[in-house]
Amino acid sequence: MALSSTLTEFDKKTGQKIDMDKLDAIKSRNTPYIWRGGIIGLSVITGWAVNLIFMLTGLSLTSWTLPFHLALQVFFNTGLFIVAHDAIHQSLLPKHRKINNFIGGLAFFLYGGFLWEKMRTNHLAHHTNPVSDNDPDYALNSDERFFPWLWSFMVRYYSWTNYFLMYIHVGLAWFISGSFLKMFIMFAIPTWLSALQLFIFGIYLPHKTPKGGHKHPWRAVTLDYPVWLSFITCYHFGYHQEHHDHPHLPWWRLPIARRINKRA
């Protein structure tokens, strides 16, 4: 059963229902809560930069810690996209639109040389017309086979501007590391793997048509993973039905929406 237009939780002390949307509105007037999304977003961006620079300048290709740092970089790369995605829905810094958009634009640029306005326009089109010819995230000609869908997704989002900006990213990583091989392993591979991760857990699995067709009005399904697995796979982006029902919720509140949805 899909979430209603209002998320409802129960107060553990009183047993009374709590309207989660109203609770968010109340918390949005509280200064620490207002800045929480921005702090989380900047922490992800900082983690991405620190780990990448450490790998490029201070880590040997033969180090036994290299697999850990590569996995961490994939995770942070994915986080850049999620931060930017939350900014599109104004859930990063709801009361500070300009700062919200700046952080989102920075995260998109660092992630793959993407430009804010184009990504925002495309993503809002996805929410308006999911799994349709007007959905830039959906497969061309409704071909839901994995590789054709992945290819059509890349063709729709990558432009010559993106390639040019990515060449600059590659050049900087190469210059900082002083080695093409280090740049390729430590920068390029984590970037590609995170793009694949986002496609699988954020687009392909949630929007692939199930047997019997989509029952959710936004044509999305939720990946019913435990919270810890949902977090490491794609920052809870797999709780996709909940995201489409309540796109204003930041990624770190989606487990609450999932828990409520399972009770309904």
On whether residue 35 sits in a domain, the answer given is yes
- 125 falls in which pLDDT band (50, 70, 90)? very high
Residue 1 domain flag: no
- Report the alpha-carbon distance of residue 93 to residue 101 in Å, rounded: 9
Outline where the chain has alpha helix (H): 20-27, 31-58, 66-88, 97-112, 116-128, 146-157, 160-177, 180-183, 189-199, 205-207, 227-234, 240-245, 254-263
The pLDDT confidence band at residue 120, using thresholds 50, 70 and 90, is very high
pLDDT beyond 90 at 171:
yes
* Percentage of the residues of the chain whose pLDDT score is greater than 70: 87
pLDDT, residue 3, reads: 39
Residue 3 lies in a domain: no
pLDDT digits (tens, 9 = 90+) for 239-255: 999 999 888 889 999 99
Beta bridge partners of 40: none
**146 falls within a domain:** yes
Whether 99 is in a domain gets the answer yes
DSSP string computed for 152-172: HHHHHH--HHHHHHHHHHHHH
**Residue 11 Cα distances to 16, 119, 258, angstroms:** 5, 38, 17
Residue 31 has pLDDT above 80, yes or no: no
Q: Is residue 29 part of a domain?
A: yes
Size of the chain in residues: 264
The pLDDT > 90 percentage for the chain reads: 64
Query: Number of folded domains in the chain?
Result: 1
**Contact yes or no for 88/104 (Cβ under 8 A):** yes
- pLDDT at residue 161 above 80? yes
pTM, full prediction: 0.86
2 part of a folded domain? no
| 136 falls within a domain | yes
Domain that holds residue 51: 8-263
Residue 36 has pLDDT above 60, yes or no: yes
